[in-house]
């Protein structure tokens, strides 16, 4: 991360883990464990929907921000089981994950629905963290770049250049998620550079320089430093290691200031 225009972001995606008590305990431990005054990367936690309000309350006065794991594109109505942009904002969220590979794999998420969610998030003033990534089979059959190009163009369809500025892209190779096998810093850098060039092509060089592209997939305290030192890696989306205050703080502290 060498571009001062992009402040690194470390986000913890808790997925379907922790209930209220555990969620509050975790964010309290995080807030207590950060150096004060805190001058490191931007920090985001992304708990399950049910914990958003209590976590938001517990985070008051700390630099840690709050995100939802998904959102629906409609503002309200008969969409049983869905969460609207307004629900997220009402619960204290500033960010939202969109198109996580687990949603693509298990819940029928497509590039078209990612695009709708992304537009809804931007309209509501939420910072979207759009996830893209190839499977192992796609990587092994040399389709990585084609897949990422399709996912990125599909997600960004119809967006204006100004919209792209607030966007965060999370490159999460599916084969690295929850497997303990992270992409090497060089592998990840190569892909991040590809995504940045694609963004330049889809918008402009200036915008592409400003968009943060973070890496996710088995990020741990012992690999964050080398990953985050890569020129086009602007932070991390952390799963398993974000469920322990100790390891998440080590990851936060492993990132140099932007």
- Residue ranges binding ligand 13P (CB under 6 A): 13, 100, 172, 177-178, 216-219, 237-241
Give the CB-nearest residue to ligand 13P.
239
Q: Are 181 and 135 in contact (CB under 8 A)?
A: no
Residue 148 CA to residue 133 CA, distance in Å, equals 6
Nearer to ligand 13P, 100 or 139 (CB): 100
Listing DSSP states for 160-185 in one string gives -HHHHTT-EEEE--GGGTTSS-PPPH
Does the annotation count 172 as an active-site position? Answer: yes
**CB 116 to ligand 13P: min, Å:** 21
Q: Which of 100, 102, 134, 138 is catalytic?
A: 100
Q: Which of 72, 138, 172, 192 is catalytic?
A: 172
**CB 220 to ligand 13P: min, Å:** 8
Nearer to ligand 13P, 8 or 203 (CB): 8
Residue 166 CA to residue 94 CA, distance in Å, equals 12
Nearer to ligand 13P, 23 or 218 (CB): 218
Does the annotation count 210 as an active-site position? Answer: no
Q: In which residue are the tokens 């502290």 written?
A: 253
Q: Are 218 and 179 in contact (CB under 8 A)?
A: yes
Residue 255 CA to residue 40 CA, distance in Å, equals 7
**CB 222 to ligand 13P: min, Å:** 13
Distances (CA, A) of 22 to 14, 18, 26: 11, 5, 6
Nearer to ligand 13P, 44 or 208 (CB): 44
**CB 12 to ligand 13P: min, Å:** 8
Task: List, by residue number, the catalytic residues.
Answer: 100, 172
């Amino acid at each position: 991360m060498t571009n001062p225009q992009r402040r690194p972001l470390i986000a913890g995606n808790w997925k379907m883990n922790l209930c209220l008590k555990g969620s509050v305990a975790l964010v309290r431990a995080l807030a207590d464990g950060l150096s004060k005054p805190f001058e490191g990367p931007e920090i985001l936690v992304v708990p399950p929907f049910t914990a958003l309000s209590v976590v938001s309350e517990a985070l008051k006065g700390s630099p840690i921000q709050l995100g939802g794991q998904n959102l629906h594109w409609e503002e309200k109505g008969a969409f049983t089981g869905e969460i609207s942009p307004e629900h997220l904002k009402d619960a204290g969220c500033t960010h939202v994950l969109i198109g996580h590979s687990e949603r693509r794999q298990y819940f029928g998420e497509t590039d078209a629905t990612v695009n709708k969610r992304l537009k809804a998030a931007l309209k509501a003033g939420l910072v979207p963290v759009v996830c893209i990534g190839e499977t192992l089979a796609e990587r092994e059959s040399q389709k990585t770049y084609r897949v990422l190009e399709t996912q990125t163009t599909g997600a960004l369809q119809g967006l204006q250049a100004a919209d792209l500025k607030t966007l965060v892209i999370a490159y999460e190779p599916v084969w690295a998620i929850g497997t303990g096998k992270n992409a090497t810093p060089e592998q990840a850098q190569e892909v991040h550079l590809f995504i940045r060039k694609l963004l330049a092509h889809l918008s402009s060089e200036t915008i592409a320089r400003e968009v943060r592209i973070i890496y996710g997939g088995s990020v741990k305290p012992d690999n964050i430093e080398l990953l985050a030192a890569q020129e086009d890696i602007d932070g991390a989306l952390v799963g398993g290691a974000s469920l322990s205050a100790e390891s998440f703080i080590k990851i936060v502290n492993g990132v140099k200031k932007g």
